Amino acid sequence: MTAAVDASTLRAAFRLHPQGVTIVTTHDEYGNQWGMTATSVTSVSLDPPLVLLCVTNRSGLIGPMTAGAGFNVHFLAADQAELATRFATPLADKFTGASYEFTPTGGTKLDGALACLECVADSTYQGGDHTIIVGRIVDLSISSHADRALVFFDGVMTPVGTNGKDL
């Protein structure tokens, strides 16, 4: 980075941009489950349905996500901050105590999420210290209680309600 845009200043600026909190899950060829909390997630296209996420190059999830296992992106509900915190840590087994089911493709679908996008990797790009993964959405589900979301703002996970009203 240049002296004008150092990493800590850039991080401080992006902390002021509210982001939805998601958990990305996948599995490897041995059946091991992997997961992480992510806020760098956005829609790309409706036709075909595509989603983009940025994963640090240090993450062990990149291999399973792009090797054909697919991955699920969960949009978290307001009451899932504890789960998001657990998946943001380097714990070996983040799924212990989590409520989930397996999808027909073998993916992990976390209970309680507002929505779950089931994806397969469409393309990847290198972007500095992150890998940009574009996923093709092959199935999705939306919760019937999709009215209160979890967002990340200024370093804090914050619930927001329907129509942007605070809870």
**CATH number for 97:** 2.30.110.10
Q: How many domains does the chain divide into?
A: 1
By percentage, how much of the chain surpasses pLDDT 70?
95
Q: Is residue 107 part of a domain?
A: yes
Residue type, 57: N
pLDDT at 133 > cutoff 90? yes
pLDDT at 85 > cutoff 70? yes
pLDDT higher at 37 or 91: 37
Burial of 132 (0-12, 13-18, 19+ CB in 10 A): middle
pLDDT for 18 equals: 87
Which pLDDT band holds residue 166 (cuts at 50, 70, 90)? low
Which pLDDT band holds residue 167 (cuts at 50, 70, 90)? very low
Which pLDDT band holds residue 126 (cuts at 50, 70, 90)? very high
CA atoms within 13 A on the CB side of 115: 14
Residue range 80-101: mean pLDDT, rounded: 90
Q: Is residue 90 part of a domain?
A: yes
The CA distance from 76 to 36, in Å, is 12
pLDDT at 3 > cutoff 70? no
pLDDT at 92 > cutoff 80? no
Q: Is residue 79 part of a domain?
A: yes
pLDDT for 2 equals: 52
- In the block, which residue shows the tokens 């070996």? 92
Q: Is residue 106 part of a domain?
A: yes
pLDDT in tens, 27-84: 988 888 999 999 999 999 999 999 999 999 999 889 888 988 889 999 999 999 999 9
Residue range 107-131: mean pLDDT, rounded: 94
Q: Is residue 32 part of a domain?
A: yes
Q: Is residue 143 part of a domain?
A: yes
3-state DSSP assignment of residue 128: coil
